[in-house]
Chain A
Amino acid sequence: MERVGIVAVAQTHHNQALSQTVRGLVYQVSKEALTQADLPLERLDTIVTCSSDYWQGMGCSNVFYYEAAASYLKDSPKTEGDSANAFAYACMRILSGIHRTALVVAVTKGSEAPSIATLTNLACDPFYLRPVGIEETAAAALQARLSLERYDGGQEMLAQVARRNLRNAIYNPYAHRRGDFSLAEIMGSPIVADPLRALHCAPSSDGACAILLADEETARQLHPDPVWVLGFGWAAEGYDLGERDFLATTALKQAAQEAYSRAGIQDPRQEIDVVELVAPYAHQEPLWYEGLGLCLPGEGWRFSHEGVVDIEGPLPVNPSGGVLANNPYMARGLMRVVEASLQLWGQAGPHQVKGSPKKALAHSTYGLAGQAHTVIVLAKE
C-alpha cells in the first residue's frame, strides 16, 4: 500500500466540549488541525466527517456542521458507524491520487443526547432484539459472563483492566473520567448489567477530533516527520446475536489480518510498540488482545495483568485511558488514531510512553458485543 501521512491532529477536552455546540466543536478541531499544518483552505482537497443523527438529534447531521469542517464548496461526505472507518475512507481518497490532502473529523456530544443504552437499543431491529431489551451494555454483559466462565481470573481481573485504564487517564488532560480507584471500589460500583459494573463501562462523553492527512509528497512538505499509515482493515459480522460466537472475535481477526497484511506486520506482539484500542467494557480488552494477535488465544486475561500492557510495560495499551476514560461515542475510533499519533511523535505529554515508540496500533469497534472492528497500523520513519 502506498503511504498516507498524518501531519496534524486535534482533539477537545470533555469538560471544555460541554459548553460548545457540535458545530463549534467541529470548527475548533478543524481549524486547529489546519493551523497546525499551516495549510491554506484552498489546498484542502476533501474532508470526511463522522457523526450520528440519532446522537445529534438532527437528521443528516453533517448538514448542520458542513462548513465548520472547512467544507464550504468542497467534497465532504459523512460516514456513520465508526470514525476509524472515516479515517480509512479518507486514506482511500488520497490513495486514489485524486485528492492530495484530506481532513477527517468526528464529533459526538453525549451530554446532549439520550443514553448509550437508549441509542444502542434503537440500533436493534424493532421486532425482536429491541423489545427484549438488548442494547450495547446488555450484549456486552452476555459476552462478559461467557468470558468469565471460560477464563480464570474472574471479577478481579475485570476490575484490574478498568483500574489500569482509569489510572492512565489521570495523566490525560482531555479525559472525562479518571482516578486511582481500588479494585474494591471498582468491584463495589453499582451493577449496570451483571456482571458489568459502572466502572467497567465507558461513560458517555462530549468530544471532537480531527486529523489532517496528505499523500506522501505533500506530507513531507507539511511536516518534518509525518506519522505514516502502513495499513488498515475493517470488517463487520452478521447481526443475529443468537448466531454469533461472542468470544470468537471473527470480525476483529478479519480486520486485523487485512491491516497486518497491508502493513507487512507478521508478529504484532513484537513489532507493535503501543496500542490504543476501544474496549467500552473492561472484559473486552483481553478479548481484543487475542483477536489482534497480541497474545496467544486463551491468554488474554493473563496478558492483561502481567505488567506487559501497563504504561511502563513493553507493550502499553491505552496510555490515554481509552474509552473507559473518555467516550465521545462516534469520535472514539478516530481519537485512538489521534492518541497513537501523539505517542509516535513523543507529544502525548504526561501520558507519553517511554522508549520512543516507532509502530502503533489503533483499533476501534462498534455494534453489539463487537459486531464490527477496525484496525489501523501507524509508524514513524
Chain B
Amino acid sequence: MPQPVAIVSVGQTKHGRRDDVSFPELVREAVQACLVDSGVGIEEIEAVVTGSMPAPEEGVEAPELWLSEAVGMGVRPRPLLRVATCGTTGMSVAQAAYYHVAAGLYDLVLAVGMEKMYQGDPQGVMTTINDPMIQRPFLGGALVFFGLQCQEYLVASSKPERAREAAAKISVRSHRAALANPYAHIKQDIETADVLNSRIVCYPLHLLDCCPVSDGACALLFASEKRAKQLASVPAWVKGVGYAGDEYWIADKHWVPWESARTASQKAYRMAGIRKPLQELDVAELYVPFSFMELMLYEDFGLCERGRAYELVEAGVTDKGGELPVVPSGGVLCTNPIGATGLIRVGEAALQVMGRAEGRQVPGAKTSLAHALGGTAQFNAVMILSQTL
C-alpha cells in the first residue's frame, strides 16, 4: 500500500515572456514562492525532482546540473532527479515526487517544472523528436502532431460543425478564465468569431485554437502524512495516479478513441475509487494545448458518450458554474511553459481542493483531476487529488 502523500504548497512564476531573468533565476522564483507558501526552509527539503522539455530547448544539456543551486543543492547536497517525458514532463515530475514519499523514504520532496521557451525555437526542437530516418521531414512540432489528431477527431465527429464551434467556445472560456489568474500569460477577452477568424496555422488549427509559447516555472511541495498535517490546514491528498503511452509510430493508431488517454484515466480512477467521473469530480485541470483536444478528452475520460463532447460545451457543463468546471485557471491555451505546464495543472488542481485558488476557486471543490499529455500525441498522465485522506 502506498504511504499517504499530499501536496501542501504551490509556487508559480508570473508566466509569459521572461527576458528579465535567467533560467536559474526563473526556477528560483518558483521555488521561493513555494517555500514561502509552506513556511518550510530550503534546507529541510529532503529530495528534489526537476523536469523540462528536451534539453536542446534551452540549449543546455543535463540542465538540472546548472539549475542545481536554484533548487538548493548549494546549501547541502541531496537527491536530485531529472525526469523528462515531453509534454507530460510536469506531471511526470509530480508523479516522481509522489513516489519518493509513497515509497516511505522521504517526507518532504520538492517537485519543480520549468521552461524558458523563448531561449530556443520550440517547433524546431520538437521536430527533432521524430526519428531522422522516416518521420522527421513530415512531423514538425506539436502543431503537426496535434493538428493531425484534431483533424481526425473532427472527421470522426458526428457533427463536425458543432465540434468546431464547441472548440472555439472552449478557447473563449479558457481565455476569459485566465483573466482571473494572476500567473497566466495570455490575458485576452475574445469571442468565438475571433477564434474562427484568426489565421490558420496548421489546419484545422487557427491561431486562437492554439497554446502560446511561455516562459515559466512551478514548484510543488509533496509531503508525507505526518508533515502534511503539520504544514497545511487542508492538504491536497493524492488519491490516484495513472500514466500510459501509445506507440512511437504516429499512424499505428487512430486517435479516436485515444487509447493512452483512456488507459491513463482509468488507472487513476481505479486507484482513487472513482466510478462516475462527471459526478464525482468537482473540477478538472485538463491539459489542452489545442482547443479540439478538450472535446476528445471528455470522451476518452468517460465524461460523455463518444462523439458527443460538443453537447457538454453547448450545455455549459464544463463552464465555471457548470457541473464539472474545466480549467478554471485558463489552462494551457493561455499559459504553456511546457516543462512546467503539467505541474501547473497539478498545482491548480491542488489549490482548488485546498480552497486556495483565489479568483479561480470553484466553490466547494473537494475532488479534482489534473492531467497532462505529450509526446507525438502519445502520452497521457492523470492525477486525482482530494481534500480527504
Contacts and interface: CB of A to CB of B under 8 A. Distances in A.
Interface string B72-97: 01101111111111100000100110
B192 interface: no
B2 A62 contact: no
A89 B59 CA distance: 26
A72 B126 contact: no
Nearest to A47: B245
B62 A366 contact: yes
Nearest to B95: A77
B55 interface: yes
A124 B62 CA distance: 9
Contact of B131 (A58, A89, A243): A58
Contacts of B374: 60
A57 B376 CA distance: 16
A367 B62 contact: yes
A225 interface: no
A91 B81 CA distance: 14
Interface of B: 1-3, 53-57, 59-69, 73-74, 76-86, 92, 95-96, 99-100, 102-105, 125-132, 241-248, 259-260, 263, 267, 271, 374-376, 378
B175 to A, nearest CB: 28
A117 to B, nearest CB: 12
A250 B55 contact: no
Contacts of B67: 239
A237 interface: yes
18 contacts: A2-B104, A23-B248, A52-B61, A59-B125, A59-B127, A60-B53, A60-B86, A73-B263, A75-B267, A79-B81, A85-B81, A88-B79, A95-B102, A95-B104, A120-B61, A126-B60, A237-B77, A372-B65
Contacts of A2: 104
Interface residues of A, number: 66
A122 to B, nearest CB: 4
A67 interface: yes
Nearest to B264: A75
A371 B74 CA distance: 11
B380 to A, nearest CB: 10
A89 B96 CA distance: 8
B102 A98 contact: yes
Contacts of B81: 79, 81, 85, 88-89, 234
A65 interface: yes
Nearest to B72: A238
A52 B55 contact: yes
A63 B131 CA distance: 9
Nearest to B135: A64
Main secondary structure of the interface of A (DSSP, over half): mixed
B82 A96 contact: no
B83 A371 contact: no
A255 B78 CA distance: 8
A240 B244 contact: no
B328 to A, nearest CB: 28
Contact of B69 (A89, A238, A254): A238
B375 A60 contact: yes
B68 A238 contact: yes
Interface of A: 1-2, 23, 52-54, 57-68, 71-81, 85, 88-89, 91-93, 95-98, 119-120, 122-126, 233-240, 243, 250-251, 254-255, 258, 262, 366-368, 371-372
Contacts of A23: 248
8 cross-chain pairs, A with B, having the tightest CB-CB distances, nearest first: A238-B74, A59-B54, A95-B103, A96-B102, A60-B86, A236-B80, A235-B77, A92-B103
B307 to A, nearest CB: 23
Nearest to B132: A57
Contact of B246 (A53, A59, A73, A237): A73
A216 B63 CA distance: 36
A124 B131 CA distance: 26
Contact of A54 (B56, B241, B242): B56
A332 to B, nearest CB: 14
A122 B105 CA distance: 33
B68 A235 contact: no
Given A92-B100, A371-B68, A237 B378 contact: no
Contact of B85 (A67, A77, A250): A77
A78 to B, nearest CB: 6
Given A52-B55, A234-B81, A239-B65, 13 more contacts: A62-B86, A63-B248, A63-B376, A67-B245, A67-B247, A78-B85, A89-B96, A95-B103, A98-B99, A239-B68, A240-B69, A240-B74, A372-B80
Contacts of A239: 65-69, 73-74
A75 B82 contact: no
Contact of B74 (A64, A97, A243): A243
A92 B105 contact: yes
A234 B62 CA distance: 16
B61 A54 contact: yes
Given A98-B271, A234-B79, A371 B65 contact: yes
Contacts of A93: 99, 103
A54 to B, nearest CB: 5
B65 A236 contact: yes
Contact of A236 (B57, B64, B103, B128): B64
Given A58-B129, A89-B99, A96-B103, A77 B92 contact: yes
Contacts of A58: 128-132
Contacts of B260: 73
